[in-house]
Amino acid sequence: MKRTQDQIEIQEAYIRMCDGMITKDETVLRDVLDDSFVLIHMTGMRQPKEAFIKAVLDGTLNYFSARHDSMTVELSGNTAVLTGQSYVSAAVFGGGRHNWRLQQKCSLKKTADGWKITRSVASTY
């Protein structure tokens, strides 16, 4: 099935977010995450955009690699939900480095500057 341009751009936004987390690239994270962004961790902790970026930059959240196994997109006009399943290597909140299957259910909205991630709910798969 052929992907639409919007689906391609939505998947690219997810990949850019993951790459920005790995490389600790503040510019990329600020660009791809909407100002309203919130990450809901597996523990239920809610982390707004600024706190999330700070945690990535200061090493509270360390991401080393991500292999994307699946990215499905549900598109509805100027909003979308991407469910990304990635095999991730990370060390978070002072824990040791581990590998796990991280699923992020991301909500996005289309803006004048492209697709922005507004929310991500983390779980495993």
Q: Which tens digit of pLDDT belongs to each residue from 54-83?
A: 999 999 999 999 999 999 999 999 999 999
Q: What is the mean pLDDT of residues 1-16?
A: 94
Identify the residue with better confidence: 71 or 1. Answer: 71
Please tell me the number of Cα atoms within 13 Å of 45 on its side-chain side. 7
pLDDT at position 2 over 90? no
For the chain, give the number of residues: 125
At 90-122, the pLDDT tens digits run 999 999 999 999 999 999 999 999 999 999 999
pLDDT score, position 78: 97
pLDDT score, position 67: 98
pLDDT score, position 1: 67
Structural domains in the chain, sorted by start: 5-124 (3.10.450.50)
Structural contact between residues 105 and 124, judged by C-beta atoms closer than 8 angstroms: no
pLDDT at position 3 over 90? no
Between the CA of residue 119 and those of 94, 96, 114, what are the distances in Å?
A: 24, 26, 16
pLDDT at position 38 over 90? yes
Q: Among the residues of 1-125, which ranges form H helices?
A: 5-23, 26-32, 49-57
